[in-house]
Amino acid sequence: MKERAKEVQAATRRGSTVQKAAEAERGVLEKIAEMNEADRAIAERVHAVITASAPRLEPRLWYGMPAYALDGTVVCFFQSAAKFKARYATLGFSDQARLDDGAMWAAGFAITEVSADVERRIEHLVTKAVG
């Protein structure tokens, strides 16, 4: 929660919308650069796919994680394996993502490597999530 409070305070102190967007993306790229080699390699590719396939999404930090928001609301986010001492990194989706599929659907996806096939799946999921 302390990280999130610092992010919110920093965001309110910044200037114009364009400046805020640039600062937010810089923050995401800095957070990715801080990751260990394995997580960083995955996060860089995930970031590239998301920003290319859904340019409407705005990169920002969310609870210290790279996230992507639509009109200020987070739609998807990247969790590094190391941060949570997990076996794998995760691409997660908030309840704002339009991934609904009947009465039950996945809202998080484990990623151990990013191949061309995985990139296509990420692109499909993000495009669907944005609607």
pLDDT reported for residue 19: 87
Write down the pTM of the prediction: 0.86
**Residues contacting 79, CB < 8 A, separation 6+:** 65, 86, 89, 90, 92
N- to C-terminal Cα separation, the chain: 30
Mean pLDDT by 10 residues, the chain (131 residues): 72 73 95 98 98 97 97 97 96 97 96 98 98 91
Longest dimension (CA), the chain: 43
Please state, in angstroms and rounded to a whole number, the distance separating the CA atoms of residues 58 and 67: 8
Residue that is written with structure tokens 């801080």 in the block: 34
Strands (E), 1-126: 58-62, 65-70, 73-79, 89-93, 108-111
